[in-house]
Structure 1
């Protein structure tokens, strides 16, 4: 796709996807990133905390399915992760049911040693069943073409 073709999808969002947060998935994620915080791994320690139950590590929301923007199809091979920032409204808890979607919010080009690159900036949102945001993230993906 060209930058102009990507721009046709600006401010379009994917349909929300239901994600159920399981404590086993939180544990596996914490172990994979080498974080032994008992709030992620130990139900008794988490129950005694101010949260009262298992919470997820900060970057756990990267594991969610945010869906695809309808009609926006391109070769994912060779994509480069450029940047990611998170904004939390509350912790992600084991047992949460979150509805996640992504929106393309910016497209721009840069030239570098490897040629032209298209930068795709997405906003991802995970909201609870009442529609309240739990976490929002903004990520930049670098597309170098097929």
Structure 2
């Protein structure tokens, strides 16, 4: 399985706590709290990601966000996490395996954000 689904409900308290944890300013749009742009990285906590179950450390390679609309308090997001590419490369410490992921979040069918994340396993992977 290379696709997982999850529903995420955002409260003003959750957005506020995340913003404070990263030192981001609180922002509002029409009186509604807006989530910091990097907040989708913590949506991963709700997924059980079977292709990343390995006895090797993972290194964060890169992350990119593409927004169509802001994430705001009281939004319910339908999120799909996909493994889009696995690539092996030679590194100084041995084989490296690059796992490229796409997290797509929609609200009421409207695209809100796509977050692309690359994680790297040292010594190979699946």
Quick one: distance in 2 between partners of 1:80 and 1:73? 12
User: If the length of structure 1 is used for normalisation, what is the TM-score?
Assistant: 0.75
Alignment gaps of 5+ in structure 1: 1-8, 40-45
What is the Cα-based RMSD across aligned positions, in Å? 2.0
Q: Does 1:24 align with 2:13?
A: yes
- Runs of 4+ with >6 A deviation: none
Q: Does 1:112 align with 2:91?
A: yes
Quick one: distance in 1 between partners of 2:99 and 2:26? 36
Larger Rg: 1
Alignment gaps of 5+ in structure 2: none
The 5-angstrom pairing of residues 15-94 of structure 1 reads 16-35=5-24, 37-39=25-27, 46=28, 50-65=29-44, 67-68=47-48, 72=51, 74-75=53-54, 77-94=56-73
Aligned residues: 123
Higher strand proportion (structure 1 or 2): 2
- Secondary structure of the structure 2 residue equivalent to 1:57: coil
